[in-house]
Structure 1
Amino acid sequence: MLDTPPDERFDRITRIAARVYGADVAFLSFVDADQQWMKSKTSDALSDHIERDRSICTMVVASGAEMVIEDMRQDPMLEGHPVARDIPWRFYAGVPLRGEEGSVIGTLCILREEPGAPPAFNIDVLRDLADISSHELTLARRNTELHQLSNTDALTGLPNRRMFDQEFHRSWRRARRTGVSTSLLLLDLDHFKEVNDTAGHQAGDQVLAKFGRFLSSFAARPDDLAARVGGEEFALILAGSDEPGAAKVADAIIRALDAIALPHPLRKVITTSIGCATLRSDEDHVNWWTRADRALYAAKAGGRAQAQSL
């Protein structure tokens, strides 16, 4: 769910929470190791994300218990907190969001500019809305699993172009949020048409299937992604890889492919050309893709079986 677009299922829940409690802001957030990210919020006055150690919600996540603070500027528990005295809200109420295994994965919270609880305050409604949110998360996860099955390339077992486009955009958003270097590799099997024309399409399909399994081993980290994006075209997203790191992976792919020696009917073995592009801080995802594509073209124009970076 991290870094996915707005979702009406969760926007509806935060709107209800804001109306029920007369809150100035209601938000639903998820946490990873480093940050709290707002999946839904009723006001743009609240940041889209915050470092986890600066978040008040981290206390709810750590304890797994709901928390109500009458006045964040006066509560001794928040003495010395890095943001509690500076934000425009004073009343806070938050409840944990739990995943299928029962672990706390986020929070559902309300904020008010005035100190003190709203009239006839009862946290039960917020708790019920959090339970509904957790149920929606379970449904979303299962729908995602079905979506992945329907967007898998049958020949290689890799995500297809439609799935890649969605994950590529999500990777761009995540990189912009976290500031973590992320690189894109575009790969094209060299002289692949000759395989189909000389040895037949069945032989070509066997090469594609073997290359797909080979490439998947280079998507080693949880946010990495290998995909088939065209006939003999593949893509690899490397989360956490800067330009030297991406170049190192590209070189490893070329050397490892040479080592497994997939046969080519006219040129002894299958080789690949690779274009690399590391996302720049001010770059949109379209330009990021374009740079990788231009780098791939340069690799092919330069003699193939090599990697180029732009």
Structure 2
Amino acid sequence: MTYDSTGHLLLTPVDREAPLRVRRLRQLGIGDRPDPDFDAFAERLAKVTGAPYSMVNFIDENQQFFAGLHTPNGTHTTEQLSATAAAGGGGVSRYMARDHGYCPHVVVRRKALVLEDVCDYPRFAGNPVVDEIGIRSYLGAPLIDRTGTALGTICVVDTEPRPWGRPGLETIKSLAAELVEQIHRREDGRL
């Protein structure tokens, strides 16, 4: 665990691979703009899991970027999402601070994370997404490419606790492997 100089537990893990990840994402030409293929993947991810929110998320040193995004009303653009948030529909957009959410943990751990009810885990219950967006459940897996770089994550979230269980874990891991293969085909020019 990492503590700051005052002895407080830091909720966001130190990410020593961020510079390498950013270089690899630039090499692949992904992770800095919305991508219709990733939006379609996020929509499929939501359908498969039954989750209202799903993301294809790439993380740099300072922020997270949802290159693929699905919300309950199907909005994808920042303008549409801002309007949804202003109308009381939650504060989701394409960008999120690195200290918000659970994907930075998945990238640093390089392992899937299942939080059926985030409030059951003191380390995760205090995350800003709980109060600001109302997130209560998370299921995510890392996107580790052929170079061994953890590029980002795929994840689904819900505003209600969800019993993801072993089937949810296996599903998210399988879908992450599928998306990594899609990224490799794109890199190889086979898409």
TM-score (norm 1): 0.42
Question: What residue number does 1:137 align with?
Answer: 183
- TM-superposed CA distance for 1:135, in Å, is 1.2
Distance 1:120 1:126 in 2: 10
Q: Does 1:122 align with 2:150?
A: no
1:60 corresponding residue in structure 2: 106
Helix, strand or coil: the match of 2:54?
strand
Question: What per-residue deviation string (whole Å, max 9, x for no partner) do you get for residues 89-127 of structure 1?
Answer: 211000001122112110010111211325884321211
User: Is the 1:13–1:129 contact (alpha carbons within 8 Å) kept by the matching residues of 2?
Assistant: no
Q: 1:15 matched to which residue of 2?
A: 43
Q: Give deviations 1:54-79, integer Å, cap 9, x for gaps.
A: 23211101100100111123421224
C-alpha separation in 2, matches of 1:62 and 1:117: 24
Query: Residue in 2 aligned with 1:6?
Result: 35
Q: Distance in 2 between matches of 1:109 and 1:89?
A: 12
Counterparts of 1:142 and 1:73 in 2: how far apart (Å)?
43
Q: 1:60–1:107: 8 Å Cα contact kept in structure 2?
A: yes
Q: Of 124, 130, 149, which residue of structure 2 is paired with 1:84?
A: 130
**C-alpha separation between the residues in 2 aligned to 1:16 and 1:131?**
14
Larger Rg, first or second structure (1 or 2): 1
Greater mean alpha carbon deviation, residues 131-140 or residues 58-67: 131-140
Higher relative contact order (CA 8 A, sep 6+): 2
Paired with 1:62 and 1:68, the residues of 2 have a C-alpha distance of 15
User: Match for 2:32: what amino acid?
Assistant: D
Shift of 1:37: 0.4
User: Which ranges of 4 or more aligned residues in structure 1 deviate by more than 6 Å?
Assistant: none
Which of the numbers 156, 159, 162 marks the counterpart of 1:113? Answer: 159
Q: Secondary structure at the match of 1:96?
A: strand
Equivalent pairs, count:
143
Stretches of structure 2 that go unaligned for 5 or more consecutive residues are 1-29, 72-80, 82-89
Partner AA of 1:34 in structure 2:
N
Shift of 1:86: 2.9
Change (3 A) 1:120 1:139: closer
One-letter code aligned to 2:159: E
Q: Structure 1: state its 5+ residue gaps.
A: 145-310
The normalised TM-score by structure 2 is 0.66
* Cα offsets for 1:255-303 (capped at 9, x unmatched): xxxxxxxxxxxxxxxxxxxxxxxxxxxxxxxxxxxxxxxxxxxxxxxxx
Question: How high is the sequence identity, in percent, across the aligned residues?
Answer: 27
Deviations 1:211-262 (A, max 9, x none): xxxxxxxxxxxxxxxxxxxxxxxxxxxxxxxxxxxxxxxxxxxxxxxxxxxx
With over 3 angstroms needed to count, the CA separation of the structure-2 counterparts of 1:56 and 1:136, relative to structure 1, is same
2:115–2:138 contact (8 Å) kept in structure 1: yes
Question: SS of 1:128's equivalent?
Answer: helix
**Cα distance in 1, alignment partners of residues 121 and 165 from structure 2:** 20
Q: Secondary structure at the match of 1:143?
A: coil
Change in Cα spacing, 1:24 to 1:52, as seen in structure 2 (3 Å) is same
Asked if the contact 1:36–1:55 (Cα under 8 Å) also holds between the matched residues in 2, the reply is no
Distance across 2 between alignment mates of 1:120 and 1:130: 15
Cα distance 1:113–1:5, how it changes in 2: closer, same or farther (>3 A)? closer
C-alpha distance 5-92 of structure 1, shift in aligned 2 (>3 A):
closer
| 1:29 alignment partner, one of 57, 63, 70 | 57
